[in-house]
Amino acid sequence: MITKTIFSGFGGQGVMMMGTSLAQSAMSKGFHVTYLPAYGAEMRGGTANCTVAVSDDEIASPVASEPNYLVVMNQPALFTFQNRVTPGGSILINSSIVEASPSRQDITTFYIPCSDMAQELGNARTANIVMMGAFVRQSGIVPPEIYLKTLETIMGSRKKALADINRKAFTAGYEYVQK
């Protein structure tokens, strides 16, 4: 089984970090993983996207022509990538800033107001982690505890204070899609 996910949004929203944290936690769970960033003339405020493939077998191509999941952090990302999602796949949308809805009927859409939720929790920059909470629950690729542990490792010891904030943000997203 191979699961491919595209994370997409503005540069600065932590889109690449969403991808690396998923790849890293899937690796520690023992999966084969690849992570491929969009590279070149990328900048803060511009567009950013990355693709993560997780599989129990060798991964041929790190490119996702038909991803199973699409995580949309801003509006342009939805228009760019929605048609690529495989039929039966899922789109997770940051509904705080994305006003449009996918035009497709053959996919499942989840609306998570992750920017607003992060703001309420006291740190707007954790919107990506709120979204990861929802994503981890919906995708079931990695158990939440493994994801959170990996996240702490990535953030490192000098950002220990962030661990609590991230955990709160993650839990908020995780529980939001449960409702």
Partner 1 sequence: MNKILMSGNNVIGEAAIRAGCRFYAGYPITPQNELTEYMAEHMRNAEGGVFIQSESEVAAINMIAGAAAAGVRVMTSSSGPGISLKQEGISSMAAQELPGIIVNIMRGGPGLGNILPSQGDYFQATRGGGHGDYRTIVFAPGSCQELADLTMDAFDLADKYRTPAMILADGMMGQMMEPVIFKKPKPRQYPEKFMLRGAGSGKSKFIRGLLLDPVDSEAHNWKLARKYEVISENETRCEEHRIDDAKLVIVAYGTAARIAKGAIKRLRSHDMKIGLFRPITLWPFPEMRLRTLSEKVNNFLVFEMSTGQMLEDVRLALQGYADIEFHGRPGGAVPTPAELANVIARVYEQKD
Contacting residues toward partner 1, per CB under 8 A: 20, 23-24, 27, 32-37, 39-40, 58-63, 65
Name the residue among 63, 66, 59, 65 with its Cα closest to residue 50. Answer: 63
Q: How far is the CB of 116 from partner 1 (least distance, A)?
A: 31
Q: Which is nearer to partner 1, 16 or 98 (CB)?
A: 16
- Residue closer to partner 1 (CB basis): 42 or 106: 42
Nearest CB to partner 1, comparing residues 60 and 100: 60
Which is nearer to partner 1, 68 or 94 (by Cβ)? 68
Residue 75 Cα distances to 93, 94, 101, 115, angstroms: 9, 9, 9, 13
Residues 133, 169: Cα–Cα separation, whole Å: 8
Least Å distance, CB 148 to partner 1, is 17
Smallest gap from Cβ 156 to partner 1, in A, equals 15
